[in-house]
Amino acid sequence: MVVKFYGTRGSVPVCDANFQKFGGNTTCISLYNKETDNMFIIDAGTGIRNLGHDMMANPNRQKIIGIGFTHFHWDHIQGFPFFLPAYRKDTIVNINSVGDTSEKELKSILQGQMQSEYFPIPMTKMGSRFKFTNLGTEYMNVNGIRVKMIKQNHPGTSYGVRIELNGNSLVICTDVEHVNEISKDFIDFCKDADLLVHDAQYTDEELELHSGWGHSSYNQALEVAERSNAKMLVMTHHDPDHDDDFLRKQEKVCQERFKFCELAREGSKYDLDDF
């Protein structure tokens, strides 16, 4: 499985000369299964626009597309109206949620941001056929891919996901706040991950000023990686006020503590077979 970051920014997209290295688009991650030549998408922040362009440029473009949402805050759904494959009549888009969000609520959330007050084209006119599904929170085994979810502390609730395939494991835990301490259940969920993708929006000082906002610090992400024995840590959901110079310096500091870690960059890829 190949993991690619199309959006690494948190809260709001940024466009500035000093924000090019790590990217300014909000959260979107693609998961490419090399065995099936199939891609699954995690979240639809503004990064999904570029992902859509990449898919449309492929002559063997995938016609059945799956999108899963960790939660529905604005920075995780705002790119969906600009996802070009969803405008093709020959495409089926399976839209998945977890937790307590019903299929009806899921449909209403995405349609709501495309009502006429906000967007010129309603979702019903996009062209593709949409299927809405709630996956619950239970363990799943789909075509040899094992998937688990964990409920996270975040306003409105978010979910982390663990995906296992061919002995490799990927854990994505964006938009999570660890209150007081990092729980054993959370560490167990991340245990021995080949690739751990973890929220790291704040410094320790910033975290104190943003209690209840639903995000983690760099040191907390590092602690999760250390205690869970992760092979590789990639920190994401960069604060919109953190420019490239700030993030480069922070990355170096983090690597002094945990050698195999990076801050996510738009366009960066990680092949789980390499771990």
What is the CATH number for 62?
A: 3.60.15.10
pLDDT in tens, 6-51: 999 999 999 999 999 999 999 999 999 998 999 999 999 999 999 9
Kindly indicate the confidence band of residue 59, based on its pLDDT and cuts at 50, 70 and 90: confident
pLDDT in tens, 83-134: 999 999 999 999 999 888 889 999 999 999 999 999 999 999 999 999 999 9
pTM over 0.85, yes/no: yes
**Residue 170 β-bridge partners:** 163, 195
Task: Pull the structure tokens for residue 157.
Answer: 């609730």
**C-alpha span between 61 and 233 (Å, rounded):** 31
167: left (phi > 0), else alpha (psi -120 to 50), else beta? left
262 secondary structure, DSSP code:
E
Amino acid at 168: N
Secondary structure of residue 227 in the 3-state scheme: helix
Residue 51: which domain range?
Answer: 2-274
Buried b (16+ CB within 10 A) or exposed e, 146-156: ebbbbebbbee
Domain count, the chain: 1
Identify whether the C-beta of residue 213 lies closer than 8 Å to the C-beta of residue 240. Answer: no
pLDDT in tens, 215-235: 999 999 999 999 999 999 999
pLDDT in tens, 131-188: 999 988 777 777 678 999 999 999 999 999 999 999 999 999 999 999 989 999 999 9
The strand pair at 38-42 and 28-33 is best described as: antiparallel
Residue for token digits 């869970």? Answer: 228
